[in-house]
């Protein structure tokens, strides 16, 4: 579920539509939580869809650490990529604002941690990275973990509209990180080795590209 103080707006001709804040979202705000309304497709289900449906699923879903396709039920599926994102995922199935997000500002992710299948050239933002690669998570997870760790203290000091959506077990884990943040689970847990996709496709009887 995307944060309630957001809406979909047309951004520009390059990226199309995106999600923007309708109110101030301070650093540390939980901006998205994977919830029970999100649809999860196994590899077999995804590959078995008619072409027109599979194209939509590939466009609007992300791949989790088990190789499943996760299709968000709400506007979260319109969050765009940025090499300078305003939000970042965690190993706890939620995302947080890694800086203050002001009204009218876009909520963006780094698609480098979404287990994309093929590299793609992103819009030039003056960043050293120009292309998103399937294995970016392996390359940058230590840097990204450090950034998330820096945001942890802010989580406890801001209003969290999505806190009730978090599973009780996750809330307990987050509370325990107050005592020792070094126990934070690494974003590397979100990585799905693409070699498993190939093996699973063989097991299911599908051909891979």
Taking alpha carbons only, the member of 58, 5, 42 closest to residue 197 is 42
Taking alpha carbons only, the member of 21, 33, 3, 158 closest to residue 93 is 33
Phi and psi for 11 in degrees, rounded to 5? -95, -60
Q: What is the pLDDT of residue 109?
A: 97
Q: What is d(CA 107, CA 88) in angstroms, rounded to the nearest whole number?
A: 10
Query: Is residue 137 within 8 Å of 191, Cβ to Cβ?
Result: yes
Q: What is the pLDDT of residue 144?
A: 98
Q: What is the DSSP letter of 186?
A: P
Query: Is residue 44 within 8 Å of 204, Cβ to Cβ?
Result: yes
Q: Evaluate if residue 198 carries a pLDDT over 70.
A: no
Q: What is the pLDDT of residue 195?
A: 58
Q: What is the pLDDT of residue 162?
A: 98
Phi and psi for 9 in degrees, rounded to 5? -135, 160
Q: What is d(CA 197, CA 209) in angstroms, rounded to the nearest whole number?
A: 11
Considering only CA atoms, give the Rg of the chain. Answer: 17
Q: What is the pLDDT of residue 194?
A: 75
Provide the whole-model pTM. Answer: 0.91
Q: In what order do the strands lie in the sheet with 16-21?
A: 6-12, 16-21, 106-109, 80-81
pLDDT by residue (tens digit) across 4-63? 999 999 999 989 999 999 999 999 999 999 999 999 999 999 999 999 999 999 999 999
pLDDT by residue (tens digit) across 67-94? 999 999 999 999 999 999 999 999 999 9
Q: What is the DSSP letter of 86?
A: S
Q: Evaluate if residue 207 carries a pLDDT over 70.
A: no
Residue 71, sorted as left (phi over 0), alpha (psi -120 to 50) or beta, turns out to be beta
Q: What is the pLDDT of residue 77?
A: 97
pLDDT by residue (tens digit) across 131-186? 999 999 999 999 999 999 999 999 999 999 999 999 999 999 999 999 999 999 99
């Amino acid at each position: 579920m995307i944060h309630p103080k957001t809406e979909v707006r047309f951004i520009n001709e390059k990226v199309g539509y995106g999600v923007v804040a309708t109110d101030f979202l301070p650093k540390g705000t939980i901006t998205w939580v994977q919830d029970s309304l999100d649809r999860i497709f196994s590899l077999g289900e995804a590959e078995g869809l008619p072409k027109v449906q599979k194209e939509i699923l590939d466009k609007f879903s992300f791949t989790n650490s088990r190789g499943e396709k996760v299709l968000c039920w709400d506007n979260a599926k319109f969050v765009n990529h940025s090499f300078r994102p305003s939000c970042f995922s965690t190993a706890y199935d939620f995302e947080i604002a890694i800086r203050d997000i002001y009204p009218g500002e876009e909520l963006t992710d780094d698609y480098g941690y979404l287990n994309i299948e093929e590299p793609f050239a992103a819009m030039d933002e003056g960043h050293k990275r120009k292309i998103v690669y399937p294995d970016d998570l392996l390359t940058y997870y230590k840097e990204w973990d450090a950034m998330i760790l820096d945001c942890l203290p802010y989580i406890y000091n801001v209003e969290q509209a999505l806190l009730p959506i978090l599973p009780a077990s996750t809330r307990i884990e987050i509370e325990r990180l107050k005592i020792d943040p070094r126990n934070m689970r690494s974003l590397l847990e979100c990585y799905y080795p693409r070699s498993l996709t190939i093996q699973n496709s063989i097991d299911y009887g599908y051909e891979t590209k």
